[in-house]
Structure 1
Amino acid sequence: MRVLLAAMALAVVATPALAQRAADAPNWIPGQSRSTITIYTQQGLQGDATMFTRDQSHISGGERAVSLETKGGAWEVCDGVSFTGQCRVAEGWTMNLRDLGLRRVRSIRPIVSTES
């Protein structure tokens, strides 16, 4: 019974958050890649978040990036503008940029699959 009550309470708390995430989702154009990257200002996917759906050759404030999450595919993440400096491939969750050997994010781009 306690487990059922806990599950019901969690559902009530989680529903507004899930609705907000759905409202924040980008509107997709047919044929467009559905890959996204979200950059966070704190470790563990916390803090202010900024979502990107396409190449960004110069990200202002990229020095504030601390963690990131990709969905729908891998992204190249570089600490220099115009995809220069140290570049790493990120896919899924990166709880701390230092795990990738990076201290900031200045440019990003999705990695396009060549598979047919």
Structure 2
Amino acid sequence: MLIETLAAMAVLSGAGQEAAPYAGGGQERIAPRGDYRQSCSGEYVNRGRLYADCQDRRGNVRGTSIELNRCSDYEIRNDNGLLVCGPVRGTYEDRGGGGRPDNDGGWGGGRNSVTVFRDSDFRGASMQFREAIPNLQNSGLNDAISSMQFRGEWEVCTDAYFRGQCRTFRDDIRNLQQWGLNDRISSLRPAGRGGRR
């Protein structure tokens, strides 16, 4: 009898432990529903907002966010680089609408590239980018870059969405320590029209 009573209590107490809906505090681990994930990356939730890096119709990546409590009845979509749900439109997070695209419709039009390395002297894990990366959070190299090789001129910043301390480079950097940027870079992009300012 005691075992049956304990088992019934366990079932009743477990019934109310279903995952609660997002309440607006801190970060949520599961991204909200919607087809935005097909053309967005780096999505995360913080303080009731969904943030993501979404492609617009020209293939440019835009930093964007939307308030989740306004989307409870709708699925979230990517509308030309902007998160939307039903009649609600999100906001762009990147400065100046992603900067100034060049004549080829993209930051560097395929002419610019940067290869970033985890270690100095171009060693360790590496990744190559050809377009603006507003947030390196999900790349595995956020705040973990020590050297860089450039094709064209690039701006790198210590915070996501091209905020914080920013600096423009053209020549390869063997060690970012001398610039005070070692293991501090969180966003990067080609520097203006045709890769030059």
Q: Is TM more than 0.5 here?
A: yes
Query: Which residue, 84, 93, 114 being the options, matches 1:37?
Result: 114
Where in structure 1 are there 5+ consecutive unaligned residues? 1-30
**Which protein has greater RCO, CA pairs closer than 8 Å, 6+ apart?**
1
Give the Cα–Cα distance (whole angstroms) in 2 for the partners of residues 112 and 85 of structure 1: 18
Q: What is the alpha-carbon root mean square deviation over aligned residues? A: 1.7
Query: Which residue, 38, 53, 63 being the options, matches 2:130?
Result: 53
User: Which one has the bigger helix percentage?
Assistant: 1
Give the Cα–Cα distance (whole angstroms) in 1 for the partners of residues 162 and 121 of structure 2: 25
Give the Cα–Cα distance (whole angstroms) in 2 for the partners of residues 101 and 64 of structure 1: 13
4+ residue runs over 3 A deviation: none
TM-score w.r.t. structure 1 length?
0.66
Say yes or no: does 1:108 pair with 2:188: yes
Aligned to 1:68: 148
Give the Cα–Cα distance (whole angstroms) in 1 for the partners of residues 143 and 129 of structure 2: 16
Give the Cα–Cα distance (whole angstroms) in 2 for the partners of residues 112 and 82 of structure 1: 15
Give the Cα–Cα distance (whole angstroms) in 2 for the partners of residues 92 and 46 of structure 1: 17
Aligned identity (percent) is: 27
CA positional deviation for 1:112: 2.3
Letter in 1 for 2:148: L
